[in-house]
Amino acid sequence: MSFLILVRHGQSIWNLEKRFTGWVDVDLTEKGKLEAEKAGFLIKEKNINIDFYYSSFQLRANRTLEIIKDVLNDKKIFKRAWQLNERHYGSLTGLNKNEMVDKLGANKIHEFRRSWNVKPEALNKESPYHPVNIATYKEIPKSVIPDSESLKDTYERVLKYFKNEIEEKLRNKNVLISAHGNSLRALCKNLFNLNNNQISDLEIPTGNPLIIELNQELVITNCEYLDKERAKSLLVF
């Protein structure tokens, strides 16, 4: 039996400001740091030895994982993977979500945020918000850096990395992944065999560990959010 623990980073500065963040590299708020700390204590109560830690390239996910590891008093090095990054929101990046609802309408923004294969217009490469202009991604080949992504695009890169680097470890090891709302939604689509309608309704709460128990055949035998008061119940796994 093994465990996969998924944690969406704590509240970020742009979460608080209700801005489309995507690949822009912003830090946690004080509330986000407290969410990460609480996540660490909830995981600690389970008394699970984590064998491998993974995170995206992004500061908010890295910081969340560092706080969790501090609570666990675990000095293991975690692996950063750009494939676990948040979805790239293209030309919406940096814009206020509420203002864009007023401008484009709630249905259009919902389509951009939740549809399976619709993506916003490409972000201009001259924008300071484009990943090619952000130092965090200087080690990533420019050929793989997107200008915009749908959830389907995000799913394909996340799943490829998960299959190649993580899945086999779960036959007998415990893994914790600190990532983002859409990269974790993409992973959950695969893990729980969700259809395109179900994935559009799935919410991933910040800083609330989702612990998934698997047998040696990688069949899920149990799962639960550890912070019951904040657990989302829009989708029953």
Q: Which of 89, 36, 90, 42 is nearest to 59 (CA)?
A: 36
Marked catalytic residue, from 9, 88, 130, 180: 9
Marked catalytic residue, from 17, 35, 86, 165: 86
Residue labelled with tokens 């904040």:
230
5 backbone dihedrals φ, ψ, rounded to 5°: -115, 120
Using CA atoms, how far apart are residues 152 and 188, in angstroms rounded to an integer? 13
Is-catalytic flag, 86? yes
- Provide the residue type at 191 as one letter: L
Beta strand segments in 32-99, E: 52-55, 79-80
- Provide the residue type at 200 as one letter: S
Using CA atoms, how far apart are residues 123 and 99, in angstroms rounded to an integer? 18
Task: Give yes or no for a contact between 84 and 179, defined as CB atoms under 8 angstroms apart.
Answer: yes
List residues bridging with 177 in a β-sheet.
Answer: 6, 54
- Name the strands in the sheet holding 220-225, side by side, starting at the edge strand that comes first in the sequence: 79-80, 52-55, 175-179, 2-8, 210-214, 220-225
State whether residue 20 is helix, strand or coil: coil
Kind plus residue range of the DSSP H or E element containing 225? strand 220-225
Tokens encoding 10: 């704590």
Active-site residues, by number, are 9, 86
